[in-house]
Amino acid sequence: MTAETVRCDTCPRGCVLHEGENGACGVRGCRNGAVIPLNYGRLTSVAIDPVEKKPLARFRPGSRILSVGSYGCNMACPFCQNHEISKAETAPDGSAWEDAAESCTPEQLCDLAVDYARRAGNIGVAYTYNEPLTGWEFVRDTSRLVREAGLVNVIVTNGCVNAHVWRELLPVTDAVNIDLKCYTEEGYRRLGGDLDTVKESIRLCARHCHTEITSLIVPGLNDDEAQMEEEAAFLASVSPEIVLHVTRYFPRYRMTAGEPTPIAVIERLTEAAGRYLEDVLPGNV
């Protein structure tokens, strides 16, 4: 790193950027000598969802939550389920996401959440769809207002973010779902992430808020029973009350060939994880 560069410290990639450059996530860039979130307050998706869709099975079941997403992601999963906003450089109309995404301040989003709470029983805001912590400052600023308004905050994330970010967020976070992609360092390297960082995120979150984990079972990546047992044993060591969703993969993005994960595999891995955890749920079956 030189005097003309800055390092982003949001995730373990630690991108070193020259003026005008963006990091691997596409949305943290060097501007005027500082790293800033270019997607701050830029929304691509807004919906009222059942909280179970996050997925959160044991947090306010039966509730509905205002779910919002931006664009960008710091990982490179070839099977991304939301690649249109996570990995695409442009919006469907060909314009840059920075221009196409709807502008929204933390105050406006909080007001919307409160309005939906009055009219539709909304319980709060879920930061989801893309990787929300590429723009964690917006999540923090909005969450503080949402908490003050008496509503809840939910984060759905890949968990590949450094601990100082969680220290900013967890005081105003009520629940998280972390996507644990696999349980090998080599597998995480293939996906552009870091297993140790995600494990530390799980430990931190489990100490401070309701925590559920999702593992999307991709054939050839994480469908090994021994790997699932090792993953479940780790989660149980953090807290046996952690909920694990063992979810079926369907071909998407750059992995359109092949078949969905066989249901029998989901059943086998759910049973394996259940040897260590009290609450293991199959998904997408």
For residue 1, pLDDT beyond 60? no
Q: How far is CA 233 from CA 180, 224, 236, 237, 240, in A?
A: 14, 14, 5, 6, 9
* pLDDT confidence bin for 57, thresholds 50/70/90: very high
All structural domains of the chain with their residue ranges: 5-283
Runs of H (alpha helix) within the chain: 83-86, 97-100, 106-120, 136-148, 163-169, 185-190, 195-208, 225-238, 263-273
For residue 95, pLDDT beyond 70? no
What's the pLDDT at 5?
94
Mean pLDDT of 218-234: 96
Query: What pTM did the predictor assign?
Result: 0.96
For residue 93, pLDDT beyond 70? no
| Per-residue pLDDT tens digits for 121-173 | 999 999 999 999 999 999 999 999 999 999 999 999 999 999 999 999 999 99
Q: What percent of the chain has pLDDT over 90?
A: 86
What's the pLDDT at 252?
85
Q: 44 vs 258, which has greater pLDDT?
A: 44
What homologous superfamily is domain 5-283 in, according to CATH? Aldolase class I (3.20.20.70)
Mean pLDDT of 192-205: 98
What's the pLDDT at 254?
82
For residues 65 and 120, the answer to whether their CB atoms sit within 8 Å is: no
| Per-residue pLDDT tens digits for 164-182 | 999 999 999 999 999 999 9
For residues 221 and 268, the answer to whether their CB atoms sit within 8 Å is: no
